[in-house]
Amino acid sequence: MEESVELICPFCGEPTELSVDVTIRAQSMTVDCEVCCHPFQVNIECDSGEVLSVMAMAN
């Protein structure tokens, strides 16, 4: 099961959407901004099929 979440790029401030598998409790991934192309780290926590928190930070 997937849910779409909105992230803000920590480099340029542009919003972007990310599809998250809510069946995985804790996730960490590197995402490339579609606007400025900088990679940034995303940490996601899910529980009971919903996203609890999303944190985007510069690498």
In the chain, how many domains are there? Answer: 1
**Domain span holding position 18:** 2-58
**pLDDT per residue rounded down to tens, the chain (59 residues):** 999 999 999 999 999 999 999 999 999 999 999 999 999 999 999 999 999 999 999 98
Q: Which two tokens stand for residue 22?
A: 């809510």
Task: State the DSSP string of 15-31.
Answer: EEEEEEETTSSEEEEEE
The pLDDT score that the predictor gives to residue 59 is: 81
